[in-house]
Structure 1
Amino acid sequence: MTTTLRSGAPLSLPSTETHPLSGRTVLQIIPDLEAGGAERTAVDIAEGLTEAGARALVATEGGRLVAELQAKGGIWLPFPAASKNPLAMAMNVRKLARLCRQEHVDLVHARSRAPAWVALAATRALKLPFVTTYHGSYNSRSVVKNHYNSVMARGDVVIANSAYTADLILARHSFARDRIRIVNRGTDFSAFAPAAVGPERVSALRRAWGVEPHQRIVLLPGRLTGWKGQKVLIEAARLMRDAGDEDTAFILAGDPQGRDGYVRELDEQIAKAGLERRVRRVGHCSDMPAAMLAAAIVAVPSTEPEAFGRVAVEAQAMGVPVVVSDLGAVPETVLAPPQVAPSERTGWRIPPGDAPALAAALQEALALRPSARDALARRARLHVERHFSLAAMVNDTLDVYCALLGR
C-alpha cells in the first residue's frame, strides 16, 4: 500500500475575488484534445481554473474537444505537442519557454510523456512549478522505455489518478515517493444522470446503431485497440448466441485511431462467427450519457490494467450494470464479491481475457429482475458520487497548484 495522501471530499470553489489562483495563468500541455480521460480532464481543469478567476491555457495540436474547451473559458494555444521526434522536441523546448514568457505563465501541467519532456526542460530553464499527471499504466518492459516514462514522475507534484497508479509509480520510480498526490478522476454527475437524458437522445442513438426495438444492448465504449478487449466481447457474444440468446446487440463504440489492421481483424472475427447482425462497430460516440442509458449493460473487458476506469464510473452514475476485468484500478471503482457481499455489489468483475466468464456475467446481469436492477443502480450511483465527483477532482488539483504557487 502507498503512504501517499488520498484526495479529500468535494468542496465548492471560493469566489473569484478570494481564490488564491485568481489572476494566475496555468498552462496545460497535451498532444491533442480528441477523446479520452486525459483530454477530458484537461478540459475539466481548464473550466475549474476559469471559475477560480485564473487564465487556463492548453497547448495542444487541436481536436474535437477544443470547441468545448473554449466554450468553458479555456484558451487553446496551437502547439506541436504530439511530436516524438527528438529534434522537434528540442525545438519545442524553446517554443514552449517563449510561449510561457509571452503569456506570463505561472505553472505548467503536463499530461503526456513527449510533451512532458519538453515541459520539464522549459520549466527548469524558467524556474516555473511543474506538475505531471500519471494517466496510464505505460509499457515499461525495457530500461529505455522506463526512463522515457519516468518523466511523468518528475513533476514537483506527481498526480496519480488512482491508488493503483500511485503504487505503480512507487514501484517504477521510487524517487518520486514524497511528491505523489492521489487525485481520482472525476465525473460530472449533472451530465451523467438518468434524469438529464431525454428519451429522444436514446432513440436517436438506437436508430443510428441499427438496433431493433426488441434488442437489449451490451455497450463497449473505448478506442479500437487490442487491450480494450473487443475480441473478448465478440467471443462472449458468440458463446451467448450459441447458448440461445437471441435478443442482445453488442455495440463497439470508439475510434480506430488509424489501427486499420486491428479493425480488419475485428470484422473478420465477427464474420467468421456469423455475428454481423448482432455485433456492430459504430465509431466515436459524442453522447456517452445517452449511449449508456441506451445500454442494458456496459462492458469493460480490458486485457491490460486500466489506470483508472472512467467508463465504469460513468456507467454506474447512469445506473447501468457494469461488467469489468478485475485488474488495475477496477477494484477501486466497481464493488463486487469477494470484496463485498453479493447484496452490496455495484457491478461484476471477471478475469481478464476470459470470454466464458464474461458471457456468464453478462447473462447474470441481463437476468436481473427490475427490483434487483433498481437496487443495484442506487448502490452504484451512491458509490461513485461518494468517491469520484468532478468537484473533488477539480478542487484537489487546484489545491496542488495553490500549494506550489504559494511556495
Structure 2
Amino acid sequence: MVKPVSLEGATLLQVIPDLAAGGAERTVIEVCEAVVSAGGRAIVASAGGRLETELTETGAVLVRNESLPSKNPVTIRRNVGWLKALIQREHVDLIHARSRAPAWSAYWAAKSTRTPFVTTYHGAYNAKSSFKRWYNSVMARGDIVIANSTYIAAHIAQTYPDATARIVTIPRGVDLEAIHPDNISSNRTEMLQQQWFGDACPDRPLILLPGRLTAWKGQQDAISAMAIRRDRGADVLGTLVLAGDDQGRSGYLEALKAQITSLKLDESVSIVGHCSDMGAAYKLCDIVLAPSREPEAFGRVAAEAGAMGRPVIAAAHGGQLEIVDDKLTGRLVAPGQPGEIADMIDDILKLDASQLSALSQAARERIASRFSKASLQAATLNVYARLLERGH
C-alpha cells in the first residue's frame, strides 16, 4: 500500500459504537491499517464485536467501552469524561467520530482537550424534528467533515450550510485484492456452498442479496421479484440467497419467512444468516441485488459486486447512482419496484458470454479507478495530516 503521508509519532483515535459488521465498521479497520502503515498509532474506542480480530490484526488497539452505543444523555455525558481521560492518557493527537451518540461525547472531549476533531457522515440521517436535526448536527461539526459519497456531501451542504467549506468527499473503498475473482479459491466457494446448502446443489442462477435484514434493504421486493418471474414462466428461476444478520429484528425475519412460504418459494429462496467470506459469496453467485428502498449513503454491495465483475441490479437513488453505470456495468431500477427487479434479472440472463464479459470488465475497471480501498486510505490520511500540520 502506498503511504501518501507519514504519521510517525502521531496517535489517532477512532470512535464507533461497535464492531459488529457494516460499512462504517469496515472503514474503521481499513483506516487503522493505513495509520499503522504510515507510522502512526491507531486506537479504536468501541464496545467491540465480530470484527475485533480483524481490527487488532492491523496493529490497532481496541479500547473497550460497552456504553458507547448508548443514546442515553446521561451516558453520553459520562463518556465525555471517559474519552477525555483516554485522550490524555494515550496522548491522542486527533479524534475521528463515526456515529452520532459517541460523536457527541467525542466532540465535547475534543473541545475540552483542544484535540482536532474529524467526523465521517455515514448516512442521510432522518431529521423529522428540530431536536433530531440538532442531534444529527454533531456529524457536521468536525474540523473536517468527511462525506462518503457525492450524494452525502450534497445532503450535508443542504442540511447544514455552515459546514459546506469543511466537507471533504472520500468515497468508501473496495479491497481490490480481497474482492477479485483470481484471488478466491474454488475451495472457499465450495465451503461456502456447503455451508449454505449442505449437500444439495442449488438451482442456477444464484442471485445474492447481501445486507442486514431490515425492510429498507429491499429483501421483500427481491422475494416478490422471484414470484413474479415464476408466475410469468421464467425459463430458469434460480435461487435467491439473502445473506445477513437480523440484528435482533426477529419480527422482520419471521415476516420474510412467512412471505417466502405464502408465495410457495421455499425451494427457491434461502436465508443464510451472516456471511464471513463475502469474496467467496460474490464469486459463487451469478447476479447481485442491491434494491434498497431508502438511499444508500454509498452502496458497498454494488461496489464490491462490480469489483468481482458480477452484474448488479441496484436501486436508482443515493450513492448507488455514482457506482453503477446503467446498462454498462449493471442495471438500475426504481426503488420498491419488484417488477423492475424481475425484468432486470431476466434481462441479464439473456446476455451472451461476450456481453457478460464486457459488463464484467467495465464494472471492474470503474470500481478500480474510483472506489479502491487504497484511495480511501490515502485521502483519509491526508485529511489527518492537514489537521495535524495546522494544529487543527
Fold shared, TM-score > 0.5 on shorter chain: yes
Alignment of 1:192-211 (within 5 A): 192-210=179-197
DSSP-derived class of the 2:303 partner: helix
What is the CA-CA distance between 1:45 and the residue it aligns to? 0.2
Alignment of 1:3-402 (within 5 A): 12-13=2-3, 19-79=5-65, 80-210=67-197, 212-245=201-234, 246-336=236-326, 342=327, 345-402=328-385
Query: Deviation per CA, 1:201-220, whole angstroms, max 9, x where unpaired?
Result: 11222222226254221100
8 Å Cα contact 2:148-2:297 kept in structure 1: yes
Query: Deviation per CA, 1:12-63, whole angstroms, max 9, x where unpaired?
Result: 215xxxx431110000000001110000000000000000010000000011
Whole-angstrom distance in 2 between the partners of 1:365 and 1:156:
45
DSSP-derived class of the 1:31 partner: coil
8 Å Cα contact 2:15-2:98 kept in structure 1: yes
Whole-angstrom distance in 2 between the partners of 1:271 and 1:385:
40
8 Å Cα contact 1:186-1:391 kept in structure 2: yes
Whole-angstrom distance in 2 between the partners of 1:295 and 1:141:
39
Which moves more between the two structures, 220-229 or 261-270?
A: 261-270
Whole-angstrom distance in 2 between the partners of 1:247 and 1:125:
60
DSSP-derived class of the 2:19 partner: coil
DSSP-derived class of the 1:181 partner: strand
Please tell me the residue identity of whatever aligns with 2:2: S
Whole-angstrom distance in 2 between the partners of 1:189 and 1:310:
13
Whole-angstrom distance in 1 between the partners of 2:13 and 2:343:
47
Whole-angstrom distance in 2 between the partners of 1:310 and 1:213:
26
8 Å Cα contact 1:228-1:303 kept in structure 2: yes
DSSP-derived class of the 2:50 partner: coil
Whole-angstrom distance in 2 between the partners of 1:217 and 1:142:
43
8 Å Cα contact 2:20-2:51 kept in structure 1: yes
Please tell me the residue identity of whatever aligns with 2:115: L
RMSD between aligned residues: 1.1
DSSP-derived class of the 1:282 partner: strand
What is the CA-CA distance between 1:330 and the residue it aligns to? 1.2
Please tell me the residue identity of whatever aligns with 1:355: P
> Normalization by structure 1: what TM-score?
0.93
DSSP-derived class of the 2:313 partner: strand
Query: Deviation per CA, 1:74-103, whole angstroms, max 9, x where unpaired?
Result: 110002311111111111000000011000
Which moves more between the two structures, 241-250 or 327-336?
A: 241-250
What is the CA-CA distance between 1:278 and the residue it aligns to? 0.6
Query: Deviation per CA, 1:261-315, whole angstroms, max 9, x where unpaired?
Result: 1111111111100011111110000000110111110000000000000110100
- After TM superposition, the runs of 4+ consecutive aligned structure 1 residues lying more than 3 A away are none
Please tell me the residue identity of whatever aligns with 1:366: L
Query: Deviation per CA, 1:164-193, whole angstroms, max 9, x where unpaired?
Result: 000000111111011000001011101110
8 Å Cα contact 2:33-2:58 kept in structure 1: yes
Whole-angstrom distance in 2 between the partners of 1:89 and 1:30:
13
Which moves more between the two structures, 282-291 or 139-148?
A: 139-148
Whole-angstrom distance in 2 between the partners of 1:380 and 1:107:
36
DSSP-derived class of the 2:264 partner: coil
8 Å Cα contact 1:108-1:128 kept in structure 2: yes
What is the CA-CA distance between 1:348 and the residue it aligns to? 0.1
Whole-angstrom distance in 2 between the partners of 1:205 and 1:175:
48
What is the CA-CA distance between 1:147 and the residue it aligns to? 1.1
Whole-angstrom distance in 1 between the partners of 2:181 and 2:298:
23
Please tell me the residue identity of whatever aligns with 1:120: Y
- The alpha-carbon distance between structure 1 residues 186 and 38, as it changes in their structure 2 partners (threshold 3 A), is same
Tell me, which stretches of 5 or more residues in structure 2 are unaligned? none
> Normalization by structure 2: what TM-score?
0.97
8 Å Cα contact 1:296-1:366 kept in structure 2: no
Query: Deviation per CA, 1:238-275, whole angstroms, max 9, x where unpaired?
Result: 01111223441000000000001111111111110001
Query: Deviation per CA, 1:94-141, whole angstroms, max 9, x where unpaired?
Result: 000001100000000000000000000000000000000001111122
